[in-house]
Structure 1
Amino acid sequence: METYSTAGLPTMGRAAAWSALYATKMSRGGFTPGDQQEPFDAELRIGNLGPVKLARLQVDGCSFERSQSDIMRSSPRMYNFLLQARGNSTFYHCGHESQLQEGDFVLCDTGMPHYWLTKDASTTIMVRVEPDVLREYLPTPEQFCGLQLGRAVGLTDTVGAMVQSLTDQVETGNCAGHEGRIARYLLEMISMSYTMGFEQTTKGSAVLWQRRNDIIRYIEDHLRDPELSPASIAAGLRVSPRYLRTIFSISGERVSAYILRRRLEECARQMRNPAWNGHTLTEIAFSWGFNSAAHFTRSFHEQYGAAPREYRRQ
């Protein structure tokens, strides 16, 4: 079991130093403390269970953002099942916003941007798996990325307790000699929990969901481009507009609606972020691909029930 913490890092610039350390052990990204006046504390414990990596992350109130630039400079993609073991947090990924309470899961594809926020001290346990290994148990993980799996759904509570217990045992070395078999059983249980939890909403083949994920990845990469449209996406991916609509329709949302929703979500997130207090609403909107202040204001009000200026003030 490897253990890392902020204890030995300097107080000044501690979050940046921790981000650099975390990038070498888990994923590249940036930690931002919620309280800039207090020293930021965090601890990461990592252990291996056969082909699975278990990691326990304890942090003070903070946010973590993995952007496209982080992904471009990082190691190969992995899938991360995040268990909210203590506290509450919000996770933004693949166009979804998940409010996580203790015992809830969310699946993250490290090859796509994501943002995680906790206002108070939080503990997250991560079950980290390579894509080829996970697909043996969960053939279409793409369809679950960013979706909250509540602890009260199906076997989720049982799986959550199992993950916490196994993490404790890996830390003490009690699984030695049986890691492979235990990992297979764990992945079977996680797969069953997701299948039971989303059986009413899943449809489409593995190929269709992988292609849809390619579309989402393209959209996220070009979300700030004012010229982004279904036609430009189809041209960029070298598919017909009709095929693009067919692939994306398995989620029940139109491509243009997804683009607008994601832009509004990013604008709202920056409006809530004190670091952006010095920027005007127009600057924020235009930085996310809007080219009309009137269209942004109207669309924002329809989405959030308040004008942008009022939303920011609240």
Structure 2
Amino acid sequence: MRTIITTESVAQADRFDHWVYEMSQVFAGLDTRPVSKGPFQGIAARGSVGSVQLNSISAGPLRVRRTARLCAQYEEDYYKVALQISGTSVVEQGGAQTALGPGDIAICDAARPYSFTYVGDFRTVILLLPRPLLPLRPEAVSEVTAHRISTDEGVGAVVAPFLQSLGEQDRDFVGPAAHSLMDGTVSLLTALVMERLDRAAPHDAMMLRIRAYIEHRLADPELSPDTIAEAHGISRRYLFKLFAAEGTTVAGWIRTRRLEHCARDLANSDAADQPIGMVATRWGLLDHRHFSRVFKSVYGETPREFRRRALVDVTGE
């Protein structure tokens, strides 16, 4: 991670205004206000793991809000995962409110209004996770947003040191290793949310397990409604009913997730020399002609055209 903002060389009277301006260049759509009249200091570093952004922030007392107006003005399609390293904070979203102490985690949906209030000096690691990467319905995730997630035991005890370690790295992760690490990050956060939803309605709990099962087996060309139903001890008919209740189909969900992974890999400049057929095969799509047709029907261009445009956007060449 590299330092992108610091108030160290700024006159004390100008530090907070400097902080707000510089942070607005990085995190659009936030309203930042002081919560005390004392001296202010702040430093922020940023890095990435594939498509996931990492931010390590140490600062004085402040409040960060994303209002309904700002949500409409700046559309954001990610989840904000915050690990409190030191100090305390109060998180609010959707009528829920919770207090975080060192080691606690909270999740917010950036598409909806939220706020973080830090009443004293603090340090936090914030991970910005694109919503499509989390194989869970936003309605299910909303059940845990702005709720304190303890890291004393269970999945949280694994996730917290992992996120803290990511936040302490002094470089970005690139290449194939970055995507593997990103997949691991997504898997851990999925498990964290699923553990919190153990008391969910049977329908939601079953769908969470099924989606996670599918996500971890997308590379298997034999993945099918039969294998999914058998693995969960339910009938094909009930499986179809579960997906129909969400306005989709089993095959449609598998196809969508496979295509999304393919699109991500095609846009990865570190994998630009990999044949398109290899990318499709890696995600369980063995009929390459069929893959090309389906990909174009969804993304409006062939895989080759998509890769060419995506790589030009990344390199500017």
TM-score, length of structure 1 as denominator length? 0.59
Which sections of structure 2, spanning at least 5 residues, go unmatched? 209-317
SS across alignment from 2:20:
helix
Query: How far apart, CA to CA, are the structure 1 residues paired with 2:121 and 2:199?
Result: 34
Contact 2:79–2:130, Cα closer than 8 Å, also in 1? yes
Q: Larger deviation: 57-66 or 12-21?
A: 12-21
Mapped pair 1:95 → 2:102: no
The Cα offsets for residues 119-161 of structure 1, whole Å up to 9 and x where unpaired, read as: 2211111111111112369883232221211112421021100
- Which residue of 2 is the match for residue 268 of structure 1? none
Seen in structure 2, the aligned counterparts of structure 1 residues 198 and 140 have a Cα distance that, compared at 3 Å, is closer
Per-residue CA deviation, residues 219-247 of structure 1 (Å, 9 max, x unaligned), is xxxxxxxxxxxxxxxxxxxxxxxxxxxxx
Distance in 1 of aligned mates of 2:74 and 2:18: 17
- Deviation at residue 49 of structure 1 after TM alignment: 0.4
Contact 1:29 1:64 in 2 (8 A): yes
**SS class of match (2:99):** strand
Counterpart of 1:12, as a letter, is: A
Deviation at 1:9, TM superposition (A): 3.9
The residue aligned with 1:143 is 143
Give distance in 1, aligned partners of 2:12 and 2:53. Answer: 30
Displacement of 1:110 in angstroms is: 1.3
Match of 1:24 in 2: 25
Q: C-alpha root-mean-square deviation of aligned residues, in Å? A: 2.9
Residues 93-123 of structure 1 deviation map (CA, whole Å, 9 limit, x = unaligned): 1111111111111111112111211222111
Give the aligned length: 207
* Letter of the 1:132 counterpart: P
Amino acid at match of 1:81: V
**Structure 1 residue 75: deviation in Å?**
4.4
Instruction: For 2:22 and 2:77, locate their aligned partners in 1 and report how far apart those are by CA, in whole Å.
Output: 18
Query: 2:68 corresponds to which residue?
Result: 68
| SS of alignment partner, residue 140 of structure 1 | helix
- Structure 2 contact 50–174 (Cα < 8 Å) conserved: no
Per-residue CA shift, 1:149-192, capped at 9, x if unaligned? 111242102110011112223x2457765111011111111211
User: Structure 1 residues 204 and 67, CA, compared in 2 at 3 Å: closer, same or farther?
Assistant: farther
Q: Which residue of 1 aligns with 2:225?
A: none
Question: Is the aligned partner of 1:11 residue 2:12?
Answer: yes
Q: Unpaired segments of 5 or more residues in structure 1?
A: 210-314
In structure 1, C-alpha distance between the alignment counterparts of 2:62 and 2:76, rounded to whole Å: 26
Q: Which has the larger radius of gyration?
A: 2
Provide the TM-score with structure 2 as the length reference. 0.58
**Which residue is 1:266 aligned to?**
none
- Tell me how far apart the structure 2 counterparts of residues 191 and 134 of structure 1 sit (CA, whole Å): 6
Q: Which residue of 1 aligns with 2:199?
A: 200
Amino acid in the other structure paired with 2:196: G
Indicate the SS of the match to 1:85: strand
Q: Deviations over 1:277-304 (max 9, x none)?
A: xxxxxxxxxxxxxxxxxxxxxxxxxxxx
